[in-house]
Every structure is written in C-alpha cells, then in structure tokens.
Chain A
Amino acid sequence: MNKKLWAAMFLLGLLGLLAGCSKKENTNEEQTTSPSSEMKPAANATPIDPATAASVSGTVTFGGAAPKAQKIDMSQDAACKGNNVAETVVVNDGKLANVFVYVKDGLGNRTFDVPKDSVAIDQKGCRYHPHVLGVMTGQNIEIRNDDETTHNIHPTPKDNREWNESQPPKAAAIEKNFAREEVMLPVKCNQHPWMKMYVNVVKTPFYAVTGEDGKYEIKGLPPGDYTLAFVQEKMGEQTQKVTLAAKDSKTVDQSFKQ
C-alpha cells in the first residue's frame, strides 16, 4: 500500500515539474534568432585579366535609302548658326551614326569602378555635341554652353530624377550625374525645341557610340558569352549574341531598317 502511495506522489511531483518547465521550452529555442535580411556583400567577381581580354568591333549600317535629313528652322534665335539638319537618323554612305552599342548581358554581377574623369556635353550652334552620349552610372557629366544665347538643360528620364536648369552664355559648366541605368534618356532645351540629345547610362564601361562611319569598338572584355545591344533613338533596340574567347577580337555588324 505505502509503496503505491509513494509512487503516486512521485508521479504527481513529476507532473508538476513538467508543467513548471513546459513554458521554458517555448522561449529557449529562439535565443539565436537574428534577422535574415542582412545585406549580402556584392559578389566580387574575378578581376579582368588584361592578358586575356577580348574586344569586339563592327559597323552599323542602314538598309535601304537614307531618309532625307529634315531641315530645322533655327531663325527664332539669331545666336543659333550653323548646321541646321535634324540628327534623328544620320546616315553616311549607308553607315549609321549615333547608335549606342553596349554589353547588355553576360557580365553577371561584376561591378566596375566609376571613372573619375567626367564626360562633356557641349552646346554649340544650338546643338548638342555629342548627340548621343554614353556614360557610367554615377559618372560626372560636364555641361558647357559655348553659345551666345541662354540654354536650359532639361533631361526627361524614366528611371532617374528629372531636372531643368538654365545656363546663360559663358556661365560656369553644370556638373551632373545619373545614378541609375537608363538607355536613351532624352535631354532637351525648352527654348530651342529642336535641341535634343540622348544620354545612355550603363553600369559597365563596355559601351560605344558609332561614329560618322558607323564604326564602334568595345575593348577589354573578359572572355565569355555576351548580348550586345544596338540602340537607335528612333528605331529602337536590336540585340546580337557573341561569344568571345581569350584575346579574341571579333567583328559584329548590325543593320537597321526604317
């Protein structure tokens, strides 16, 4: 009899202990909790070895008859002199100028330093020089006014911040940069409605703009598979794939049609 009783008491005690402890279990397990959204360090890709770097170049052509360049009327401002032909589509002997060529895909998550040197936009003869500009994100752009008239520089971006600043003749250069990637970002002058240019902001240094002869060259690429994009302000974007082995220098041509 006694034994039974003690056994029962023991059991009860155990039960009580259990009840007492059960709440602790709840709280212990989360001791090591830590937030899961810590910043992942940018994966550092292997540096580009100049010895194996490849390059790609080519010519962009325009298929069919070159469109007749549109004359623009600049007579509203006496200070605007010189070439008065629209630069929407510039073709010389079938070669297409002002096409922005860049490596759209294939570099993975490599990051590149932003060049310290700034690039320039000149306003001269009420036109922008260059008409199409490539620049890296965060890189400084220096905007100068060489005209005897006031301009205002008014980018109308999709993914960057918009601004609009006046620049009288001989005023100090305006320095700006764009923080986010955006291709064919229009810049205009409200006072001279024909004045228009495009800034192309990319994250890599691998870009070029075709010259009057339609030629471009992109150097220093590590071997790999790439997608090259050719962007023309009016005719839009076309892409081509290219595989570059070490020290390759390939030719990739592209043709646009209107």
Chain B
Amino acid sequence: MPPVPEKDPIVSKSYAAYYVIAMMILMVTLFWALWDESFGQRPWKAFQHAWKDRYSAFLNSARSKSSQSEKEVEQDSQYQQLKQAYKDAYETATPRRDELQKQISDLSAKILAVQNVFTDRRAYVNALTYELETETSASGRKSKQQDIDDYKKKKATVEFPDGHRQQYNFQELEEAYNSLKAERTKISAELGEVLKPVTEASNKTSAYVSDHMVDLTPTQIDGLKKKAADWDAQIVQINVPEANIVDRCESCHMNAREPIRVTAALMTPKGEKRPDEYAQAFTSHPEPGLLKTHDPEKFGCSPCHQGNGRATTSVEKAHGNYEHWLWPLFPKQNAEAGCQTCHAADMHLAVGDVGAHISNGKFLFRQRGCMGCHRYEGYDKEPEDLTSIAQQMKLFDQQKIDNSKTAADLMKQADAASSNDEANRLNQEAVALRVANSKIDGRIQQLDFQTHSLMQDMKKIGPNLKDVRLKLNRNWIPAWLKKPTDFRPTTKMPNFRLTEHQIQTMSAYLWQSGFTDALPKQKPGNAEHGKQLFETRGCLACHSVGEGDQMQGGTFAANLSRVGEKANYDYLVRWIHNARERTRPYCPYEKKDIGPEDYAKKGLPYQFDLEHSRCPNDGHELQVQNMTVMPSLRLSEEDAQDIASYLMTEKKEEPSAYAQASYMDDPELKEEGKTWIRHYGCAGCHEISGFEDEGRIGTELTYEGSKPIERLDFALFTNVAERGGKNAEPITDPEDLGRLPEGPAKGPWYDHKGFFEHKLAEPNVYDKGKVKSETEALRMPNLHLSKLEIQDLTTFLMGSEESSLPESYQYKPGDARRDIQEGWWIVRKYNCVGCHQFTPDQSTVLMGMKHYQDAQEQLPPKLLTEGARVDPEWLRKFLSNPALSTTDSNRNGVRPYLQVRMPTFSFSDNELRKLVRFFQALSQQPMPYIPEQVPVLSTKETDMARSLFSSSAAPCLKCHATGDPQHDRIATAPNFLLARERLKPDWAERWILDPQAISPGTSMPSGLFRRENNHWVFAGPTPASFQGYDKDQSRLLVDYIFQLTPEEQRRVAASRGRSQASVQPRNKQKQTGIRASAAGSGGSR
C-alpha cells in the first residue's frame, strides 16, 4: 500500500473558489473594458442615438406642417396659373411626343437588326485586314486584298422587325447603319425640343413652391428624414490642417448646421418640462447668417467658441471646462468674446443684435476712458503714431544727408574717371540719388501733413484741466473729486476713493497750475430762447438734461442738469460757440504752453488755429485746439450766449453754497498734489499742466484674456474663488454687488470672467483684508458701470487673446472693407450714430426722442446709401464745411430747413479721407469716382422734362427749397441746384422711383412713376409731346435736374407760384413764420 501523502494539497484543498473569484473579476473587467470602449469613452454615441429619435420625430411633424403650407401655396392663383401652363404645355406636347417616341423605338429596333449583321461582318473585315497588314509577301498581300474586296461585295440578309428582309453588301450595310443612327439622333433632338416647354413649366411650378414657402418644402424635409434614418453613429469632425483646427463638436451638436431651425424646446421629449442635456445640444446654431460668412469648414467651431475641439470623452472635457485646458468655452453671456479674437481691428461689429455686446464693450473701453490708463493695440494711436513719425523724419533727414554726400563723391569720381562710359555711369548714379532725395522730400512733406492731422485727431476723454480757473467754480472742485457720482450720477469720471488730504492737494495743484488768462466778458443771453435752441439744434444727441426718469437725450457726453453750479458763464459761452478754442497753444517740442509774449518776440500776431499751427519759436506743429470731440455748431455769438444762459439756470443749489476751499491757493500743497495726480494717472484722460507727456499707469490689456490665470491676482480670495459655495462672494457693498452681471457669486469663480467682473464691479475688491499703505493700494477707480456695461466689457476682455490661429485668420482686409473698418472708429469717436442711421437696424438717439415723434421730417438725414448718393469730392467739402459757405455759416448747407444742425467737426485731412472712403465702401462704390456724363437735353426734351418738373401731379418745388427765403420757410427738402455737384445721377433716379426704399419714412413719396412696357412713365398726366417717347421718363427728369440753372428754377417757381403770389400780401410773411417755428417745436398741428 503506497503511503498516503499527508495533506496532499491537490486532493485536500480546492482552489475553485479563488478561481471563480478571479474569473469573475476578469470577466467583469472584460465587460467593463468593452463597455467603456464603446460607450464610456464615447458619450457622443448616446447623443447620436437620442438625436436620431428626436430629430426624426420632429421632422415628421415638420413634414406635415410643411405639406400643409405647401398646399396653401398651391392655392395661390399664381401657382394655379403656372400649373395650368404646365398642363397646357404637357397636353400640347403629348401627341407629338408620343409620335416621336414611337419613331425612336421603331428606329432602335431597326438599328438593332442592322447592327447584328453589320458588327459581325465588320469584325470579319477587320480580321482580314489584320492578316493583310501582317502579310510579308507581295503576292500574299494581293490575294488577301482580293479576299477582302470579295467579302465586302458579298450580300448579307437583314431581317427587319416587321418581317421584311433586305440584302446589303458591306458598304450598303454600313451606310444603312449610319443613316439609321443619324435619323434617331435627329428625332431625339426634336423630342427634346418638344419637351422643353414642359420641363420649363414644371421647373417654374416647383421653383414657385420653394420660393414661396417660408420653411423647407416636404421634398427637402424627406431628404433630411432619410439622412437621419440612415445615420450610423460616428465621429463628426471638421479638420482644417493649415490652422490646426480639429473640431468634433458636431458629434453631439448634430443639428448645428441643419437647414431647418431647431430649438431646445422642439427637441425636448414630450412630457418633460425643461429641455434636458440632449435637447440643449441638439439646437441649431442661433445665427445661421454668421455661419454663412464664417464657413465652419474653414473656421471650425473652436476659433470662435473655444473649448477643446478634439475631446470626445465628456461634455466637460469637450467644453474645456477643466483645469488643464487654457481656453474654456466662452459662456453664453460672453459668447461674443470669440469675435474679438479675429476682429480686434474692428470698432463696430454689430449686425442687428448680433455683435451688440462686443461692439459696446469695444466702444466703452474708449468712451469710459479705460484707454487712458491701459494700453490696448489700436486704441488712442495718435501719440504713438506721432512718435513713430518723428523717428521716421529723423531717419529720412539722415538719409538725405548721406545721399547728398554719396552723390558729391560719385560726381568727383566721375570727373576723374578713366573712360567716358565709366564717368557716365557714375554721373547717372549721382542723378538717381538726387531724384531719391526729391522723393524723400515729398515723403517728409506728407509726414508733416500727417503730424498736423494727428495733432488734430488727438483727443482726451476728459476736459482740459489747464482751464480750471477760467471755467470752474473753485469751491466745486473738491466736492466733485470727493465722489463725482454724487454730483452727476451718469458721469464718465470715476470715483478714485480719495482721502480728504489727497483731494486738497490735488485740487491745489490743478488750481495753481491752471491758465490765468483773461476771458472776454459775455453779455447775458435769453435763457428761454437758449432752451429752445438747446432742444432743437441737436445738443441732445450727445448730452442729456434731467435726472432719473426725467432724463432725456444721449449718454455720449455729459448730463448738464447741474452745470449751473460749477460753470463760469463767460467760459461756457466760448465753449458752446467753439469748444475747440484753446486758451493757449501747446508746443510739444518745447513742452510748454505758448503765450502772446512768444509771438510778440517774433513780431507775430497772437493768432493760432488750424491754419496757423506753427510754433513761433521753432516752427514745430502746435496743439492749437482743445482735445475734445465736441464740435462747433456754427452758432452766432448771441445764440451761444442764449444757450449758456439757459444752461446756467440748470442747477439744484447756488454755486455759492459750496464750502470755501481757500487751501487751493496754498503753494505748499501744490507739490504733493502733483505726486498724487501722477499716482492716479489723471493725465490719461485730462490735459494737465506738467503732465503732457505722462505715460499710462495701468497694465496693457491687448492680450489680457490669454493671461495665465495664476497671473491674475485674486489676492486673499483665491481659495474662495476656486472653492465656491457659501461666502464665495467677496463684494459686500450693495451698490457694487448690483453691478455684477449675474448677481453675487454662488459657485466657483476662479476664471477670467470672474476676475474681470469682480474687478470692474468693485475695482479695489482684491485689496480687501490686506494691509497696504496709501501708495500701494489698488489705484483703479470705480467706474460705476451697469450690469450690462460690465458684461460687455468682460466679453471684450475675455476675447482679448493672443490667437493661436494663423495670421491670415485675423480680419485685416486689404480692400475697401478696410475703409469700412477704419471709418467706424471715426464714426463712433464723434458719435455720428447719435443723429444718423448708417444701417436700417440701428436707431439714433434723436429718433427715440418725443420731440421728433410727430416731426420725423425734422430728423437728420439717414445715411443708409450715402456713398451711392453723393459725389465723394463734394462729400469731402461738405464734411469740412457743412454750411457749404465761408461767409454764411450759421445754417445747414444742404438742409437749411432743419432745426437740428450738422456741426463742423474740424476733421483732419486724415479723418476726411477715411470718412469719404468709408461711405463709398459702405455702398460698394469704386474709388476714385468718375462722374457719369449726363446727356445735354434738346429744347424739346427740356420742355418735356419741365412739364414733369412743374406738373401738378409732382409738385417738386412745393417741398424742395429754392433759395427764395419766402418759400424756403416751408420747404422740407434740399435745393435742386445742389444736385449737379452733390449727387450721383444713377442714385437720383433710384431715389425718384422709390425713395421709401432708400430712406424709409422720408417725406418724399413713392409712386411718382410707374412701370409700363418696360419703361418708367410718369404717374400723372403728361402733355402730348410725350407721345412716342420711348425712354424712361424718370431719367429725363433726372437729366433735367442735373442741368437746372438758377434762372430756370426761378422761372418754374414763378409760373407755379403765380396764383399764390397774387394772394401773398406782406402780412403773410408773419403767418408762415409762426407756422415754421411751430413745426420746429413739435409737429405741425
């Protein structure tokens, strides 16, 4: 008996349990791995499954709605006509079609019969020919040739489908075959001709349906349904290798580009109240128009929206909302930040509502003076451009000297040259250098003009503080500095949180460094008349009066409700008369204000303006204007006095009520004040004596959005911001809390958006809890921005990124679109949009005012097609002198009947050039403009045209000004005599035909001409002379207007006004005068 091994592990112990456990773990892992591979890592598959079901269900209902509306369209009489036309065409074509089709099928059968025999025999002939070609002996060849000829002569029988037989030799067979085929081609062509009207009519009917359906047609929806039904789960991606874009966003956002509009509500399953994650993902792109100009196949998604386009493993990863991704998806409220990444060079990006936020953010950055402390590429370029021009000039000067030297040297060498050839070559080189120098002279001259322009273009957002002594109530200054919003809640001046001591020293410096020149004494004016002028001349397009609910007017410039408390009357009159008038010119070269003594030294009159802008001491370009955007309204002295008198009545308390601030004259405070002014960067927005060359004190913000989050100093709130939850909101001041666009923080806010919003709402929030000295504390003032303003500025800053896209993706067009881009900077700079409409979707400040509600004809003209309307050369002249006169300037040059005044902005040549090009580009007009030749009318044509011009059915001169003051009191349209120089003839004709399409709401009515026999004919009665006139009568009228002379206009006016003239006694003048002013002040009732 073998020994029983004690405790044999094999028999005594089972490992089955372990194996089972191990296997279970293995199996679970395996299944988990399989599941994870196909679903866990691919959440988009679940999205696509849900999409397939929901989208198909949606399409089904859309399909039934669509066939419903298709039926409606088919009810139209026009459709019925088309349908009838189709039926008629079909019926007309049918007999002939049937006949032809029968012929074709018969022919085809015949061809087939011939073909069978023919191809057989042709193959045999080909075989014999091959043998002949390869035969080497001459005799062999001969016999082969014989064989071929014999074979070709042999007749073959063709049995035709109708049973009859015919015999053909080879050649006859070939001919028969070819002629049958030719006949079939001919008949087929005829069939095509016969069917042409039928297919045309059919195309027209289906085109009518798709043109008149608001949504897609049922057929189109069927296409989409099929696509959805056949969909297999797969990654959908856009790949743009040259820009390194791989965007898989559409793997979940399946409907982003579908041609039918899908909302989250439409994708929500029945019974659920709120759209779930899927429903939100399946919406269409909200702005399909944007995708048309930004083709996703070129731009992808992430260049605008950011996020991690490659990630597909989770929504958070794909949206880039995790700490390792530097470009998280822009949140919905700031989605327009994406525009800035490529459109940094644009000032205006809005098309309707789209782009309104980013455009406003960009505008606010300038308007609220942010650029005074923070450099931002593209903003406030003038000082930088001036420096660069000065450097260029230096280089050019040096180059000129070098060139002359080299030229002299070359000529010397030439004189001593060994050969004539050599001498000539050297002389030629010297000549070329002299020409080069002349070119440099031209260039320097241009740079000189540029300097002049740039000095003119340079503006400050705040007023010139060198004038404080002349313009302000001294005691008001400290009260203002204390908290500007207490005095004027809507002011642009921010709150610097100054201490009493700082205020005292700063006001002392400002007061003591100000000009002490004497101002001319002004006579008191008529405040009542001033108020009327203030309300009608257009001041309210920029300024406002009244506070709170009572406020009316624009927000571009200051609210003037309490101006009477602070202003000095004499200064105010000068300011209203011409705000650009400076007390003393400033010489940037000498860095000093030039006074009469400097002019006297050189024996020059003390005169400085845009025409006299050279420094008497050294000939350098002076700053001769106040650096304000406020234009001149070309008012008379008296009118300026009246308006100033009215404004002085705008006050809540008496100027004398302010506490005496005699410390402002204390010279000991002055020096300390200077350091505080420097510390707070006041010179960023104001012109201050001694700070003319002061740099910006803030950080550059051009790429602030892509600054690593670690470099944004959340100070003591870093942890709180990261963690979120309770007490996540560091701001406690209720006013500042109210500025946060989305209310107090609840969740984590450790991102750029959170940083910017908190910083803008309460700029010193990151000082909270810190122990800092006065000079170390954060200096950024509180700009008392609204929620919306903070949202827009945050959007702007978030988009201020260093783009990873290739340079070509930046919107920097080289063509006319660049003119549009540059023009908008000027248009927004001077607030042209306060009065004028540039696009139909933009409203102006004045349009919204009650005053114009009943008197729309008193609104400034719309500029929707300005570039197509006016001659650019005329426009340049008009923009530099809107009175179109140097002597009679207290009026509008084109529309003297308007109460509101087109101001003189003193645009520099630079800005004039850009503005003219801007308008031309906006209307897609080529530059330079070559005027269209207007044909000279014959006497007969002139008579005919005159009959239209003076027709009682189109009483042109009833509304249009003629220059006769009596008549012009009631005129509401420009003088025709301006047309020739001002207008483009083609535009004038379009205007006469349909003015409402060019300037909606205009007083000029439509329907003066109607279309008849492909020509425009006058809608009223015409004299017999028009019989047989087969050209456009509208064009005749335009040609006549373009050659209208003052005499002719007077004659026509006299002839139509005769009956009136007889009943127009002297006292009539008074009446019309009253009515005109009544119309001006609110309607003509």
A244 contacts chain B at the CB level, 8 A cutoff? no
Contacting pair B50 A36 (CB below 8 A): no
| B1051-1085 with Cβ < 8 A to chain A | 1059-1060, 1063-1064, 1068, 1071-1072, 1075, 1079, 1084-1085
- Among the listed A12, A73, A78, which residue makes an inter-chain contact with B1075, where contact means beta carbons less than 8 Å apart? A73
* Interface pairs (25), CB distance under 8 Å: A8-B20, A12-B24, A15-B27, A19-B31, A27-B50, A30-B53, A32-B57, A32-B269, A33-B54, A33-B269, A34-B57, A35-B58, A36-B268, A70-B1085, A76-B1060, A156-B1001, A162-B996, A162-B1001, A166-B1007, A169-B952, A191-B955, A193-B1079, A193-B1084, A194-B1084, A234-B1085
- Among the listed A4, A169, A196, which residue makes an inter-chain contact with B20, where contact means beta carbons less than 8 Å apart? A4
Of A45-53, A115-123, A146-154, the one with at least 4 CB within 8 A of chain B: A146-154
- Among the listed B53, B61, B1059, which residue makes an inter-chain contact with A35, where contact means beta carbons less than 8 Å apart? B61
Contacting pair A163 B1006 (CB below 8 A): yes
Contacting pair A190 B24 (CB below 8 A): no
Interface of B is mostly: helix
A58 contacts chain B at the CB level, 8 A cutoff? no
A92 contacts chain B at the CB level, 8 A cutoff? no
Return A172 CB to nearest CB of chain B, in Å.
10
A37 contacts chain B at the CB level, 8 A cutoff? yes
Return A67 CB to nearest CB of chain B, in Å.
12
Return B1083 CB to nearest CB of chain A, in Å.
8
- Among the listed B32, B265, B1021, which residue makes an inter-chain contact with A37, where contact means beta carbons less than 8 Å apart? B265
CA distance A75 to B1072 in the complex (A): 10
CA distance A196 to B1079 in the complex (A): 13
CA distance A209 to B58 in the complex (A): 49
B1019 contacts chain A at the CB level, 8 A cutoff? yes
Return B847 CB to nearest CB of chain A, in Å.
12
CA distance A86 to B952 in the complex (A): 25
B1063: chain A residues within 8 A (beta carbon) = 75, 78
CA distance A120 to B856 in the complex (A): 26
Q: A150-B954, A165-B1005 are in contact. Are A15 and B28 (CB under 8 A)?
A: yes
A211 contacts chain B at the CB level, 8 A cutoff? no
B977 contacts chain A at the CB level, 8 A cutoff? no
Contact with A along B752-793 (1 / 0, CB 8 A): 000000000000000000000000000000000000000000
CA distance A23 to B233 in the complex (A): 13
Contacting pair B58 A33 (CB below 8 A): yes
B959 contacts chain A at the CB level, 8 A cutoff? yes
A43: chain B residues within 8 A (beta carbon) = none
Return B264 CB to nearest CB of chain A, in Å.
10
Instruction: Give chain B's interface residues, CB within 8 Å of chain A.
Output: 14, 16-17, 20, 23-24, 27-28, 31-32, 34-35, 39, 46, 49-50, 53-54, 57-58, 60-62, 263, 265-270, 854, 856-857, 951-955, 958-959, 970, 972, 995-996, 1000-1008, 1019-1021, 1059-1060, 1063-1064, 1068, 1071-1072, 1075, 1079, 1084-1085
CA distance A191 to B1056 in the complex (A): 15
A12: chain B residues within 8 A (beta carbon) = 23-24, 27-28
B275 nearest CB neighbor, chain A only = A36
A171 contacts chain B at the CB level, 8 A cutoff? yes
Contacting pair A78 B1060 (CB below 8 A): yes
Contacting pair A168 B959 (CB below 8 A): no
Contacting pair A150 B952 (CB below 8 A): yes
- Among the listed B24, B46, B62, B995, which residue makes an inter-chain contact with A26, where contact means beta carbons less than 8 Å apart? B46
Contacting pair B857 A73 (CB below 8 A): no
Contacting pair B16 A193 (CB below 8 A): no
- Among the listed B854, B952, B995, B1003, which residue makes an inter-chain contact with A148, where contact means beta carbons less than 8 Å apart? B952
CA distance A37 to B1005 in the complex (A): 42
Contacting pair B1020 A150 (CB below 8 A): yes
Contacting pair B57 A35 (CB below 8 A): yes
Contacting pair A168 B58 (CB below 8 A): no
B50: chain A residues within 8 A (beta carbon) = 26-27, 30
Return B31 CB to nearest CB of chain A, in Å.
5
A163: chain B residues within 8 A (beta carbon) = 996, 1006
A164 contacts chain B at the CB level, 8 A cutoff? yes
Return B136 CB to nearest CB of chain A, in Å.
78
Contacting pair A186 B1020 (CB below 8 A): no
CA distance A36 to B266 in the complex (A): 6
Contacting pair B1060 A75 (CB below 8 A): yes
Contacting pair B31 A191 (CB below 8 A): no
CA distance A73 to B1059 in the complex (A): 15
A164: chain B residues within 8 A (beta carbon) = 995-996, 1001-1006
CA distance A169 to B20 in the complex (A): 105
- Among the listed A15, A16, A171, which residue makes an inter-chain contact with B1020, where contact means beta carbons less than 8 Å apart? A171
CA distance A186 to B1007 in the complex (A): 20
| A152-184 with Cβ < 8 A to chain B | 152-154, 156, 162-169, 171
B854 nearest CB neighbor, chain A only = A186
| A1-58 with Cβ < 8 A to chain B | 1, 4-5, 8, 11-12, 15-16, 19, 23, 26-27, 29-38
A237 contacts chain B at the CB level, 8 A cutoff? no
Return B421 CB to nearest CB of chain A, in Å.
80
B967 nearest CB neighbor, chain A only = A76
| A203-236 with Cβ < 8 A to chain B | 234
A254 contacts chain B at the CB level, 8 A cutoff? no
Instruction: Give chain A's interface residues, CB within 8 Å of chain B.
Output: 1, 4-5, 8, 11-12, 15-16, 19, 23, 26-27, 29-38, 70, 73, 75-79, 86, 88, 148-150, 152-154, 156, 162-169, 171, 186, 188, 190-191, 193-194, 196, 234
Contacting pair A5 B1003 (CB below 8 A): no
Return B705 CB to nearest CB of chain A, in Å.
37
- Among the listed B265, B269, B953, B1059, which residue makes an inter-chain contact with A169, where contact means beta carbons less than 8 Å apart? B953
A11: chain B residues within 8 A (beta carbon) = 24
Contacting pair A33 B958 (CB below 8 A): no
Contacting pair A75 B857 (CB below 8 A): no
CA distance A37 to B1002 in the complex (A): 40
B1079 nearest CB neighbor, chain A only = A193
Contacting pair A190 B972 (CB below 8 A): yes
CA distance A165 to B1006 in the complex (A): 5
A38: chain B residues within 8 A (beta carbon) = 61
Q: A5-B16, A19-B31, A193-B1084 are in contact. Are A33 and B53 (CB under 8 A)?
A: yes
A8: chain B residues within 8 A (beta carbon) = 20, 23-24
Q: A15-B28, A32-B270 are in contact. Are A75 and B1064 (CB under 8 A)?
A: yes
Contacting pair B265 A193 (CB below 8 A): no
Return A19 CB to nearest CB of chain B, in Å.
5
Q: A168-B1020, A171-B953 are in contact. Are A88 and B49 (CB under 8 A)?
A: no
CA distance A123 to B1079 in the complex (A): 22
CA distance A79 to B996 in the complex (A): 27
A171: chain B residues within 8 A (beta carbon) = 953, 1019-1020
B270: chain A residues within 8 A (beta carbon) = 32-34, 36
Contacting pair A166 B996 (CB below 8 A): no
Contacting pair A168 B1064 (CB below 8 A): no
B1003: chain A residues within 8 A (beta carbon) = 152, 154, 164, 190
Contacting pair A193 B20 (CB below 8 A): no
B857: chain A residues within 8 A (beta carbon) = 190
A234: chain B residues within 8 A (beta carbon) = 1085
User: 7 tightest A-B contacts by CB?
Assistant: A168-B953, A152-B1005, A166-B1005, A190-B1003, A193-B1084, A168-B1020, A78-B1059
A191: chain B residues within 8 A (beta carbon) = 955, 958-959
B35 nearest CB neighbor, chain A only = A19
Q: With A23-B49, A33-B53, A186-B854 given, can you name 16 additional A-B contacts, CB distance below 8 Å?
A: A26-B49, A33-B57, A34-B58, A36-B270, A37-B263, A37-B266, A88-B1085, A150-B955, A156-B856, A163-B1006, A165-B1007, A166-B1006, A168-B1019, A190-B972, A190-B1003, A193-B1084
CA distance A5 to B16 in the complex (A): 8
- Among the listed A1, A31, A86, A165, which residue makes an inter-chain contact with B1085, where contact means beta carbons less than 8 Å apart? A86
B972 nearest CB neighbor, chain A only = A190
Contacting pair B953 A150 (CB below 8 A): yes
Return B886 CB to nearest CB of chain A, in Å.
33
A188 nearest CB neighbor, chain B only = B1084
Please indicate which of the listed interface residues A11, A33, A86, A190 has the most CB atoms of chain B within 10 Å of its own CB: A33
